[in-house]
Each structure stands twice: as C-alpha cells, then as structure tokens.
Amino acid sequence: MKRAIATAIFHLVLFTAAFAPAASVTAMEVGICAHIAGDEYRYLEKALDRVAEAGLSRVRADFTWAKIEPSPGVWRFEVTDRVMAEAARRGIRILPLLCYDNPKAYPGYAWQNPDAWRRFVQAVVTRYRGLIDVVEIWNEENIPFWKPKRDPAQYTEFLRLSYRAVKEVAPEVRVAMGGLAGRDYKYLEEMYKAGAADCMDIVNFHPYLWPDPPDGILEEAIRRYRAVMAAHGDASKPIWITEMGWPTHKVQMSGQYAILAGLRIARPERSAWRMVYAKLSEDGPGEADAALLASILPPGSTAEAWGPRRLAAELSTTTADAVMLPPERFPLDALDALRQFVADGGVLVSVGGVPMYYASRGGKDVGGIDCDDVKRQFHIGWRAWWRDKTLPESLRAFVTDEAAAAGYKADPAGYKVERFFTDANLAPGDRMVPMLVGTDKAGEPAVAGAVYLLDSDLKGAVVVNSRGVERGEIDEDTQARYLMRALDIADAEGVEAFMPYSLWSYEGDPSFAEHHFGICHRDYSPKPAFEALKARSQRR
C-alpha cells in the first residue's frame, strides 16, 4: 500500500510539472547524452540546469536493468524517479535507454531471460507512461555490448519481444532500435532480413567520425542507411542519431592501452616489467621511445633502448621480460636473439601496422628478406585488403571484453584500422586472444589487435596491434565547429532527432578519449561546443 501511494504521489508531481512541447515536425530535435542515472547522478541538478540553459529538449539516459531490479522482483526506482522529476521540472524529456544484462538477478544474457526482460520493460514504461514518448532498446548491439557475439537475427528477436512489451502497456510510446555503432549497413540489412521492419518505430545509429570532420561522410552514412531502409519498404521511418561526438583529449604515447593490456594478458601475474626498446641501429633513435614506454608502465618497471649488437649479445629472459619493436620493422642482426627470447618465454610487442613488415640493417630497410617467413617464425598470421578481398581498406574495430578487463580503454566510436591478424600460423598448444575486433565484408571477425599465447616450440607471447598511431587531437574550438556542422547536415538530411555525446567530461585520464567527449568540463563549466549549442537553440 505504501509503495502504491508513493507511486501515485510521484506521478501527480510529474504530471503537474511544466513540460516542454513536442519538437516541431519540420525541425530536428536536439538533445544530449548524459549519464544522469549513473556517474552524473551526484550532479543531477547541475547537469540538468546546463541542459536547460543550452535549450536542449531531451536527455538520453541509461535505465540499467541491474540497477532498477537488483534481485528478482525487487524494484529500485528511487534514482530514475528523481531523474524524471528533476527533468520534468525543467521541461526536459528523458529518452530511457533500456539496457544491459542482469547476471546477478538473472544468470546468462538478457535475451536468455525473455520473461524477466519483458517485466523490466513493462515496469519502466508503465511507471513513466505519459512522461516518455520513446524508449531505446539496448546500445550498440553490433559490438560487444551484445553478448556473447554479434547476432543481428538474435537482436531482432529481442527487439520484437521488447516492442510488443512496450505496446501492450503504452501503444503510444515509440520504440527505437539500439543505436548501431559506426556505419554498419550490413548489420541493419541483416536485421531487416530477420523481420525488424515490424518491431521498431525508429532507425537509430551512432556515426562517430573523429578526428575527421563530418562533411561528406555523414551525408553518405545517412543516405546509405536510408537506402537499406528503402530496399525493405521502410524508407518513411524516422532516423535518430542518439550518439555522436568529438573528444578533446591529449594524445600521448602511441598504442599505450594496447601495450599495457597486451602485457597483462600475456603475463597477468607480473606487476612490474623490465622492457627493452629494440633500436634499428646502434646510433639510431630509441631513447625517447624507451622513456615514453617507461612513463606508461606500472610502478617499479624499467625501459631501456638497446641496439642490435647488445640485443644479439645480452638479450635473454634473465635480462628482460619484454621487447618492443619499432612499428613494422625489426633489426635483422638481432633476429635470432629475438626468436630465442620468445622461445624461452619472453614477450615481444609490436604496435602500429604489420609487425616485422620490413627488415632493417644499420637503420636502413633491406630487401631480399622473406618477412612473411619471419612472422611465421613467431607464429603471426596477418591479412589486409590487398591480400584478402573480404576486407575493406579500413574499418572500425572495438575492444573485446577480455582486453577491456586488462585495461584496454574502449572508444565508443571504435578505432579505425587497416591491418588484421589471424591464427593461421599457430602451432598445437598456442592460442590467440583477440583485443581489438571489427567485421569484414563477409560479416566475419577481423582482428586488429591480439595476444599470441605460445606453448609450442615458442613458450612466450607476442602482442600485436595494427593501430599504433593515435588519431589527431581535436581542440575545443574544432569540437564545436564539427558538432555544429554535423547538426546542420543531419537536419538537412531529414534526421528527426540528434543527441550529441555527451554533456559531461569525466577528465580522469588526459589521454583517454572517452573522458573528453563532453561539451562541458568536469566542473560543468562550458566548452565552446556548449556555447555553440546554446546559441543554435536561441536562433531556432
């Protein structure tokens, strides 16, 4: 009885709050992504004040199943009730993102617990009926947010279940498919083949482009998604973009997260490392690279730069734990020592392009060396578009769960990659642990970063990551300019709603892109992008 009374009072307060009118049918609605039911909840009022100040009409917020129903039948709406109430007082709508597995309450994945998921969806929609007009079902289901692996048909069945659950209790509430990460036209095509047209009201995607400007690319993405829709008789359905943005982080050492995660996967028991940076010549560059390497390694670690002679004479698992090669190259005079090092249990690291693509002597590339055979000696397999026509020239790859757990920090936009690795040269006893994975033209995994764990003639490990060079930095003025241009393009292309990512910058790690997408700083002081959005809202 107490819960029923509390619920009734809660709805009375919300229904009497001032509420923003619906967006014009001729103008694109502009909102914002904000984790106001998560990390930003402790700043809820300040965050929503900023949203209102900027003239933004909607906030996309995570309504996470595990937080709302922490154990079967136990509902905790305190956080989302307050979010809804504070938003309504400011005339702001909430787009609930209904998301993620709830393994403590319901073991397995959400799609394996259809009855429980249906109850969750209906509990949320029923509680906030009249206050919400759209719900989004899952987030970026084409990458590892959906487990155990991407499966368009499986997600479509889950979307159908969710759609019916919503319509049973609130037929007027529209259902948006989870925003697809990147420009994954094939995934949407496969959804339509599985019958998605009749179980969603809104097509939704997240066309991250950074560091590139949106001109040309965003128009093409919207038109190609619409072409897939048209091919399945669904062209009139609205398109939403519920994430897109440009981060303003500071680039530091190339590939640092791949290096650290790879080392942890290779040797999880090791807390400090003795690393060597392999110089290509005795007097060539390498000391600065070793210093950068030392700056990112765990406390107690060391890093030195060794030339080919010292590598050949001194390298062993008693003198070093790991060796890092320069991108795409190796010192030919130290090849035997490097192989023996890995045979004895050492870890070899190569980030940037294809490892050992060129042989070097005295700092200069030399011909006549079968570098594919060199890679085979280290059990590395690789492929690229000019060798394998199932690959595009580039694609977006995403961090795997295992790599994320080891510290490889995920970029919601994915990482642009052009070279890939295979298990074709593994020997019995070896295994390959993917760290960075995209999808090729055939819909198969394309591994752009991996750890080869070797237990055959070699007893060590090889860490590879084809993405080594960080993308260019975006300053705050450029972030604002690109975001405004993206909004204008999307509006001109008929997108119904656009929610930039994101309101707040966590700013915990100066070199981690995810911490710097916000249009406000950590203290909610505005960046130029905030001021530009505010000015745009005032003009309209």
- Can you list the domains of the chain with their CATH numbers? 29-250+472-539 (3.20.20.80), 256-465 (3.40.50)
* Averaged pLDDT for residues 181-188: 92
pLDDT tens profile 232-245: 999 999 999 999 99
* Averaged pLDDT for residues 9-37: 60
* Overall pTM > 0.75: no
* Averaged pLDDT for residues 513-527: 94
Q: Which run of H or E residues covers position 93?
A: strand 93-99
pLDDT at residue number 20? 34
pLDDT tens profile 271-309: 999 999 999 999 888 887 888 889 889 999 999 999 999
- Cα 96 to Cα 123: distance, rounded to the nearest angstrom: 13
CA dihedral 325, 326, 331, 334 (to 10 degrees): -20
Confidence of residue 253 (pLDDT cuts 50, 70, 90): low
* Averaged pLDDT for residues 495-509: 95
* Averaged pLDDT for residues 191-220: 94
Confidence of residue 531 (pLDDT cuts 50, 70, 90): very high
- Cα 366 to Cα 378: distance, rounded to the nearest angstrom: 20
pLDDT tens profile 390-409: 999 888 899 999 999 999 98
pLDDT at residue number 255? 80
In this predicted structure, the answer to whether residue 418 has a pLDDT above a threshold of 50 is: yes
Question: CB–CB of 126/171 below 8 Å?
Answer: no
Work out the mean pLDDT of the chain and round it to a whole number: 91
Q: What is the DSSP letter of 91?
A: T
Confidence of residue 11 (pLDDT cuts 50, 70, 90): very low
Confidence of residue 40 (pLDDT cuts 50, 70, 90): very high
CA distances from 361 to 176, 177, 328, 494, 535 (A): 58, 55, 14, 57, 59
Tokens 């047209």 belong to which residue? 197
> Which residues share a beta bridge with 180?
205
Backbone angles phi and psi of 255, in degrees to 5: 65, 20
Confidence of residue 251 (pLDDT cuts 50, 70, 90): low
Confidence of residue 333 (pLDDT cuts 50, 70, 90): very high
pLDDT at residue number 139? 97
